[in-house]
Amino acid sequence: MSRDSRYLESILHHDIPLTREMGLKVLDWQHGQLQLHLPLQANINHKSTMFGGSLYCGAVLAGWGWLHLQLREEGVEDGHIVIQEGQISYPLPVTRDATVICQAPEEKVWKRFVATYKRHGRARLTLETWIVNDGSEERAVAFSGQYVLHR
C-alpha cells in the first residue's frame, strides 16, 4: 500500500467512522485512479448480497477520496469537499467482496475545476465511480456524483 493510500484510509477512518464499520480499505491510488475495497461480510443484507446503502456509501467515498488525493497532489489543501448530488444504478447484485473505482475526469475538465476554485473559492466537479465484484470487470454499480469544493 502506498503512502497516499495509507494516508487516505486513515483520514476516512478518522473523519467518517462508518468507514471502519464497513471494513472499507484503500487498495490503490495510481495513474489518476482510486480503488477501494468493500468486504461482503461487513455489508451483507438479508439476501446474502451487498446492502445497497453500503454500495452507495462506497461509491460516494471513492469520489470524495479521489478528489481529496488529487487536490493534495495539486497543492490545494484549503478546501472542504461535499457531495451535492448523486445518481446510482445497480444493474447486478454484488455477491462477493467488491472493488470501488473512481477514474479521473478529462484533463480539461479537471483544469477548469481547479482554476474556478482558485478564482472563486468554490467549484463543482462530476466524478464517475463504479463497483465490480472481485474477480469481475462487469459493472455491478454505476454512480455519478457532483462534488463541491469550497473554502
Angle CA 79–85–87, to nearest 5:
135
Per-residue confidence of the chain (151 residues) as pLDDT tens digits?
Answer: 788 999 999 999 999 999 999 999 999 999 999 999 999 999 999 999 999 999 999 999 999 999 999 999 999 999 999 999 999 999 999 999 999 999 999 999 999 999 999 999 999 999 999 999 999 999 999 999 999 999 9
Rounded CA gap, 138 and 77, in Å?
Answer: 35
Rounded CA gap, 79 and 57, in Å?
Answer: 21
Domain spans, the chain: 3-150
* pLDDT score at 71: 97
| Maximum Cα–Cα distance across the chain | 49
For residue 129, the number of C-alpha atoms closer than 13 Å in the C-beta half-sphere is: 30
Cβ(8)–Cβ(68) below 8 Å: yes
Question: Measured in whole angstroms, how far is the alpha carbon of residue 132 from the centre of its chain?
Answer: 13
| Three-state secondary-structure class, residue 47 | coil
* pLDDT score at 89: 98
Global pTM value: 0.95
Q: What is the CATH number of domain 3-150?
A: 3.10.129.10
Rounded CA gap, 118 and 88, in Å?
Answer: 30
